[in-house]
Amino acid sequence: MKETCETLNINHITTSFYHPQSNGRIERFHRTLHDVLSKLMRDDTSTWDLFLNQALAAIRFNISESSKFSPFYLLYTRDAVLPVDNIMKPHRKYMGEDLHQIMLNQQHKAFVLVHRSMKQAQKRQLKYKNKNCVDEGFKIGDPVYCKNHLKKNKLDNRWTPYFRIVDQTSPVSFMIKDQLTGVVRKAHAEHLRIAKIDEWDIPKNKGKQLRKAAYVASPDVSSSDMEVDTDSDSDFNKPLATLAKKYRKERTNSSDEESIPLMELSKLLKEKEREENYDSDSEESMSVNEIIETNLKTKCKDKNVKVKELLASISNML
């Protein structure tokens, strides 16, 4: 398939997982086909292939809401002749000898009307589509949450952490990498959410050592760009655990108390109170020690004086 597309100069773009809106037209047609088949089959669903031609005929012969024409008319420039038409025996109009040219003119007029109707339908549909859309502004290197499509029960987390954007394949499709396993996959922008690394509880691997999460330089990067000091590396090339520690430390040392969560702020206040109490206790203990030392020095001086007096009296007696 890939070689065929390259030979025919076809740019084959794959869609994201769990996002059927990327193939909106064909998926909407599948929905219509399923609805028609369900009406025809009733209870016996094992013979759906026997009713497929009838379902397709019903879709092709009916007028579309967007184009205002039936698909059969746009292809053959005439309405389909159904069994009921043969029973009623309608009188066909004489189109003249230049039938081919007349049909081409009618088809051209129909295509112009279809184009106008489709433009109006697209504007109407785009209005409802963009009603609740929000531009997150994802960039390469951003840490993100990915929507969990494999939940085992309703209480599981809806968002999976530890992902980072490594490439952008289209305006709404991104390649994300799991920072713990190194697995790269494709995801739609609707299934991503911006994350803060310092909020992640990075699990500790017991037993087997994990590889460091470092990115390989792309081939487009020149040698001059590679000769950069390691101290100036961007956050994009740093491991996840290192970034988490860095952001926690910055938030802990931050003087702006509004940017610190309440739990961490209470911990910091308690630690400051402990340090102040410890400093006051140490000052008191130092003052007590000084008093004891001075007392010992005075006592030693008194003993020395008494010994000298005793020796002087003994020498006088001799």
Asked whether the beta carbons of 19 and 190 are under 8 A apart, the reply is yes
DSSP string, 199-211: G--PPPPPSSPPP
Q: pLDDT-derived band of residue 182, with 50, 70 and 90 as boundaries?
A: confident
CB 142 within 8 A of CB 179: no
For residue 147, give the nearest of 17, 13, 15 by alpha carbon. Answer: 17
pLDDT in tens, 137-160: 888 888 899 988 888 887 788 888
70-121: per-residue pLDDT in tens? Answer: 889 888 888 888 777 766 666 666 566 777 777 778 778 888 888 888 888 8
pLDDT bin (cut points 50, 70, 90) of residue 201 is confident
Alpha-carbon distance values, 212 to 142, 143, 163, 246 (Å): 18, 17, 15, 16
Average pLDDT score, the chain: 74
Decide if 131 contacts 158 (C-beta within 8 A). Answer: no
* pLDDT tens-digit map of 39-71: 888 777 788 888 888 889 888 988 888 888 888
* C-alpha–C-alpha distance, residues 211 and 94, integer Å: 80
Q: Is 274 exposed, middle or buried (0-12, 13-18, 19+ CB in 10 A)?
A: exposed
72, HSE (Cβ side, Cα atoms, 13 Å): 13
In angstroms, the first-to-last Cα distance of the chain is: 127
Cβ within 8 Å of residue 40, ≥6 positions away: 51, 54, 55
What's the pTM?
0.45
| Cα–Cα separations (whole angstroms), residue 259 to 116, 194, 201, 208, 256 | 54, 18, 19, 37, 6
- Give the dihedral of Cα atoms 43, 49, 51, 57; nearest 10 deg: 140
Token look-up 């019903």 returns 58
Residues 6 or more apart whose Cβ sits within 8 Å of residue 128: none
Strand partners, 192: 146
pLDDT value of position 228: 43
Q: What is the pLDDT of residue 232?
A: 42
Task: Please identify which residue in the block is written with the tokens 């031609």.
Answer: 53
Split at pLDDT 50, 70, 90, the class of 208 is: low
Tell me which residue of 30, 20, 80 sits closest to 55, measured CA to CA. 30
Residue 217 reports pLDDT greater than 60: no
pLDDT of residue 226: 47
- Residue 221, classed as helix, strand or coil, is coil
Predicted confidence at residue 255, as pLDDT, reads 57
Residues 6 or more apart whose CB falls under 8 angstroms from that of 79 comprise 70, 72, 73
Of 217-221, 259-263, 305-309, the poorest mean pLDDT is in 217-221
